[in-house]
Amino acid sequence: MSGQPSAIILASTSVYRAALMEKLGIRFDQVDPDFIEQSVQGETPEAMAMRLAAGKALATSHRLASGLASPAIVIGSDQVAHVGNQSSGYKILSKPGNFENAVKQLQLCSDQWVTYSTAVCLVRQDGAVLSRFCEHYRLRFRKLSNDQINRYLKLDQPYDCAGSIKAEAHGIMLIADSDGQDINTLYGLPLIRLITELKVVGVVIPS
């Protein structure tokens, strides 16, 4: 793909992903992907994140194709948080939605490593896939008492966050260790890899 794309579309309504995109210093539009997320039995967390990221990007490009400037790029992304592994089995940590579910999630995460697998898919306005990748970031939670969990949830109210934690806020108090290349992967968009892939397809990133 040659030349600077005339439009960058973020296929997400997430305020967190929009804030991350703003770090790149490029103009973009944010669009609801209008994509129904469904689970597939036996799917790994990475495969799930990759499938959903592609689904969001493709659904958006197909719906807006006639109205998108040419050339244009649509960015779809999805994050799957989980505990466990392939041998022991995965437990997916979705957005809790309320206090009770968040308590259960943090009890499960206590003294455990939690992996955040964040996938990105770049597609052209005609639906051609330009790039797909998945990055991982891991957090090890401290051993948490019920009192600690209750106090934390009242502070951050992270009910729209997978794993029931806002690590960029008071949630850092719950973390004992971390492992990963790009902290932005944890927050919902692996910017280091995204910058590389955008440059490959002709997007100029201000230095």
Asked whether 199 and 205 are in contact (CB, 8 A), the reply is yes
Alpha-carbon torsion (121, 8, 20, 149), positive or negative:
negative
- 166-169 long-range CB contacts below 8 Å, 24 or more apart? 167/139
Calculated CA dihedral for residues 122, 159, 155, 19, nearest 10 degrees: 20
Name 86's Cβ contacts closer than 8 Å, sequence gap at least 6: 44
- 160 belongs to the catalytic site: no
Catalytic member of 29, 32, 34, 78? 78
Beta strand pairing call for 7-11 and 89-93? unpaired
DSSP code string of 38-57 = ---TT--HHHHHHHHHHHHH
Q: Would you please indicate which residues are annotated as catalytic (active-site) residues?
A: 78
